[in-house]
Structure 1
Amino acid sequence: MKKIGFIPLRKGSKGIPNKNKRKMVGRPLFTWVLGEAIFSELDEVYVYTDDESIIEFITKEYSWTDKVKALLRSEESASDSASTEFAMLEFCESINYDFDIFCLLQATSPFTKRGDINTCLAKIGSEYDSALTVVNTHRFLWNENGTPINYNPHKRPRRQDFEGLLVENGAVYVIGKDALKKNENRLGDNVAIVKMSEESLMEIDTEPDWIAIESLLIERQKREKESKKITHIVLDVDGVFTDGTITYTKEGEHTKSFDMRDGMGLEILRQFNVEVMVMTSEDSQLVAKRMQKLKIEHIFLGVKDKYTLLSKILLDKRIYLSNIAYVGDDVNDLTNICSVGWSLVPNNATSIVKQHADVVLSENSGAGAIREACQFIMNYNKRF
């Protein structure tokens, strides 16, 4: 059976401008869901948007997989008055309903994990024609006229004795093709429920919502961290190998300064069977030449969604985040810094990454920070 994912995005956002593209823990908001969809059991994932810059981003950023496709939606389906169902049906007709199972994913639900998607997909079959994600919330509800809805206030139950209510969190909806055609709706007649964490009930409508959800995501990533033997080190370039400054001439980028001690540290580290990888958002030929000089084979240039690419590399190499040491310096490194086994940052890194890194090095970028990180890894690995 062909299972497709569908992520609708609109340019307009009244509460938070450019919400879908704004960086949440250093990544565009929509990439949190898209990344999980890529590694789920979905066969294809479509991003349906009226924002051509997002289409360009997806085309460039996810060239390493043929699973992701970005399509331009009509102005009518992207209007304030258009429903999600309108966009769904417009899209389905455009691809002639070429699927068996349809999965609607909301980009504003960054807590969605691949396991949530897979569990919903698995529900579709002889018993259920659709599924959705919910949260079991232990809240006491009231009507505006002052009457309780779901409990007796004179016999207030303890939380552990209260079943609570199941509330849609708007994250994942899955439906079979026949039910979708019949109902023209995201849900069919026999609906299965899949529970997600209570934090996933939060919506991103205001700046305080954004701040709260970003903090929760950071803590979730850090909570899931494990520390094992370090087998790979992944390094950013500008602000890690270099001091972050670039000299330009009228022809373009001219020079970057690298510290020779850092190169020696990496050479020594490789002798202890730690593989070195470089991942940078800049697409620089100067960087490519320097890494070639250092005999670093695994160089990834022009990467904007570093976490998703790192996840792909880990799957290919059959290693884990806990085996990774990561050295970065700015917000676009933040998700990786919060997720890997050990994260290290130069002493002159930005305050946000220093706040969440495992180790703040005593040396500055471009002035021995990498050499210090290499020594830390060698000392740490001795226990294994």
Structure 2
Amino acid sequence: MKKIGFIPLRKGSKGISNKNKRKMVGRPLFTWVLGEAVFSDLDEVYVYTDDQDIIDFIKKEYHWTPKVKALLRSEESAGDKVSTEFAMLEFCESINYGFDVFCLLQATSPFTKREDINSCLNKLNSNYDSVLTVVNTHRFLWNEDGTPINYNPLDRPRRQDFEGLLVENGAVYTTTKPALKKNKNRLGDNIAIVKMADESLMEIDTESDWVAVESLLIERQKRAKESQKITHVVLDVDGVFTDGTITYTKDGEHTKSFDMRDGMGLEILRQFNVEVMIMTSEDSQLVTKRMQKLKIENVFLGVKDKYTLLNNIILKEGITLSNVAYVGDDVNDLTNICSVGWSLAPNNATDVVKQHADIVLSKNSGAGAIREACQFIMNYNKRF
């Protein structure tokens, strides 16, 4: 049974400019749900968009997985007043309904986890032809004429005694191909529900919404941290190995300065069986040469969605995020900083990274920060 995910994206956004591509906790908003879809039980995940920049981004960023595909949608299906169903059906016809289960995923629902997607897929059976996600809200609702909708105000229940209401949060919808072809809708005739966390009900329509959702995501990532032995350390390059500056020659070539003591620290760390990995958004031959000199084999260059790649690495390595230490300095490191077992930032890192890192090192980048981080990891691992 072939199960596909479908993420529709439009280039325009009325409330927040470039909302889908804007960085939420350091990564484009749409990658929060795309990354979870990659690691779910879906067989393929399609991003359907009129934005060529997003298509190019996906082809470059997710080359390591055959599951993710990006398709250009028509101008007609990307209009402000066009329904999501119109885009769904246009897409389905373009691939000749080549699937058994269709899963619509909302790009502006960053709280969606792979477990939510899998729960929806698993509920499809002979009794249900579609599933949607909801939130159990305990709000008291009223009509405009001043009459209550869901409780008796003269006998106001306590929250713990109040069943509340189930509210559609718009995050995940799954349906079978027969139901989709029959109803031409995301939902069929026999619908099951999957409950998601309360915060997933939040919409992202204003700048205030954005700030609130970002703060909640950061706290969610931090709450999942656990104290485990560090088996892998992942490092950014510019602003971690180097002081973040680049020197250009008259011919346009540039140089970077590396601290030799950092290299020795990493060599000592590997003697204690800690795997060293490099993950940088830059694609630099200078970095390649330096890492070859340091005999570091796992070097990932040109990475923009560092969190999804890190999740792929830990699955292959058979470890968890709690086994990882991460050293980063800027906003594109932020999700990893908030998620790994131990995160460390050089003393001259950006304020937002230092605010959320577990350890702010006393040394600056390119001036012994990595050596100090290596010493912390070795001392920390002694307890195991």
- TM-score when scaled to structure 1? 0.99
Question: Mapping of 1:198-209 within 5 angstroms?
Answer: 198-209=198-209
Partner of 1:47: 47
Deviation of 1:247 after TM superposition, in Å, equals: 1.1
Deviation of 1:250 after TM superposition, in Å, equals: 4.6
Partner of 2:356: 356
2:168 is equivalent to residue 165 of structure 1: no
Partner of 2:139: 139
**Contact 1:246/1:253 (<8 A) preserved:** no
Take 2:135 and 2:251, find their aligned partners in 1: how far apart are those partners? 56
Partner of 2:186: 186
Taking every aligned residue pair, what percent have the same amino acid on both sides?
85
* One-letter amino acid of the counterpart of residue 247, structure 1: T
SS in 2 for 1:364: coil
Take 1:214 and 1:135, find their aligned partners in 2: how far apart are those partners? 19
Structure 1 unaligned regions, length at least 5 = none
Take 1:144 and 1:320, find their aligned partners in 2: how far apart are those partners? 50
Q: Alignment length, in residue pairs? A: 384
Take 2:217 and 2:94, find their aligned partners in 1: how far apart are those partners? 35
Partner of 1:101: 101
Take 2:117 and 2:249, find their aligned partners in 1: how far apart are those partners? 49
Partner of 1:71: 71
2:101 is equivalent to residue 86 of structure 1: no
Partner of 2:303: 303
Deviation of 1:81 after TM superposition, in Å, equals: 1.1
Deviation of 1:251 after TM superposition, in Å, equals: 3.8
Deviation of 1:300 after TM superposition, in Å, equals: 0.1
Question: Mapping of 1:5-84 within 5 angstroms?
Answer: 5-84=5-84
Question: Mapping of 1:211-250 within 5 angstroms?
Answer: 211-250=211-250
**Contact 1:265/1:375 (<8 A) preserved:** yes
Take 1:186 and 1:62, find their aligned partners in 2: how far apart are those partners? 27
SS in 2 for 1:319: coil
Take 2:359 and 2:80, find their aligned partners in 1: how far apart are those partners? 46
Take 2:320 and 2:86, find their aligned partners in 1: how far apart are those partners? 41
SS in 2 for 1:154: helix
Partner of 1:372: 372
Partner of 2:130: 130
Take 2:180 and 2:139, find their aligned partners in 1: how far apart are those partners? 33
2:319 is equivalent to residue 294 of structure 1: no
Take 2:250 and 2:316, find their aligned partners in 1: how far apart are those partners? 41
245-254 or 192-201: bigger deviation: 245-254
Cα distance, 1:250–1:41 mapped onto 2, change above 3 Å: farther
2:195 is equivalent to residue 195 of structure 1: yes
* One-letter amino acid of the counterpart of residue 176, structure 1: T
Query: 1:79-111, CA deviations, whole angstroms, 9 ceiling, x for partnerless residues?
Result: 001100000000000000000000000000000
* One-letter amino acid of the counterpart of residue 341, structure 2: G
Take 1:22 and 1:250, find their aligned partners in 2: how far apart are those partners? 35
SS in 2 for 1:252: coil
SS in 2 for 1:77: helix
Take 2:109 and 2:130, find their aligned partners in 1: how far apart are those partners? 19
Deviation of 1:252 after TM superposition, in Å, equals: 3.3
SS in 1 for 2:41: coil
SS in 1 for 2:77: coil
Deviation of 1:254 after TM superposition, in Å, equals: 1.4
Query: 1:138-186, CA deviations, whole angstroms, 9 ceiling, x for partnerless residues?
Result: 0000000100000000111000000000000000000000000000000
Take 2:140 and 2:116, find their aligned partners in 1: how far apart are those partners? 26
Query: 1:265-305, CA deviations, whole angstroms, 9 ceiling, x for partnerless residues?
Result: 00000111111000000000000000000000000000000
Take 1:335 and 1:95, find their aligned partners in 2: how far apart are those partners? 34
* One-letter amino acid of the counterpart of residue 54, structure 1: I
Take 1:134 and 1:347, find their aligned partners in 2: how far apart are those partners? 43
Query: 1:24-59, CA deviations, whole angstroms, 9 ceiling, x for partnerless residues?
Result: 000000000000000000000000000000000000
SS in 2 for 1:45: strand
Partner of 2:335: 335
Take 1:237 and 1:302, find their aligned partners in 2: how far apart are those partners? 11
